[in-house]
């Protein structure tokens, strides 16, 4: 299964931008890059996803490298509520399967 590599933890101060990196060197041409985040004792929350082009939504931006072997989730202004574990996931899909394989994620701490 496709695999991603993320730093175990990162820190940020409130209202500063945060760049969360992810390496996925074994990505195939049809794998979408998904980002979810999880707060303690809750289910994951969808953040953003993309294939080749950079993506923006109300929560974050996703910057995808030209060779697609890495990507960066960008939180433009971190808030205390953004403290969570962020998972970078390759969505594996084919004619008979469509699933997310979670890695270990990055624990983001946000300081006031």
Taking CB under 8 A as the criterion, the residue among 5, 25, 57, 104 binding other proteins is: 104
DSSP 81: G
How far apart are CB 15 and other proteins at their closest, in Å?
A: 27
Return the residues of window 73-102 that contact other proteins according to CB under 8 A.
Answer: 87, 97-102
Task: Give me the count of residues in the chain.
Answer: 112
Does 55 sit near other proteins (CB under 8 A)?
no
Total of residues contacting other proteins (CB under 8 A): 20
Does 32 sit near other proteins (CB under 8 A)?
yes
Does 33 sit near other proteins (CB under 8 A)?
no
The tokens for 12 are 């940020």
Does 68 sit near other proteins (CB under 8 A)?
no
Q: Give the three-class secondary structure for 16.
A: coil
The tokens for 100 are 């997310």
What are the Cα distances from residue 30, in Å, to 4, 12, 53?
15, 33, 13
């Amino acid at each position: 299964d496709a695999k991603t590599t993320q730093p175990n933890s990162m820190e940020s101060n409130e209202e500063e931008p945060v760049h969360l990196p992810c390496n996925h060197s074994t990505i195939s041409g049809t794998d979408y890059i998904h980002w979810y985040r999880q707060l303690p004792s809750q289910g994951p929350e969808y953040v953003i996803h993309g294939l080749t082009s950079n993506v923006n939504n109300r929560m974050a931006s996703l910057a995808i490298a030209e060779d697609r072997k890495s990507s960066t989730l960008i939180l433009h202004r971190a808030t205390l509520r953004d403290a969570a574990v962020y998972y970078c996931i390759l969505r594996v899909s084919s004619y008979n399967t469509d699933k997310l394989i979670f890695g270990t994620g990055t624990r983001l701490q946000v300081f006031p």
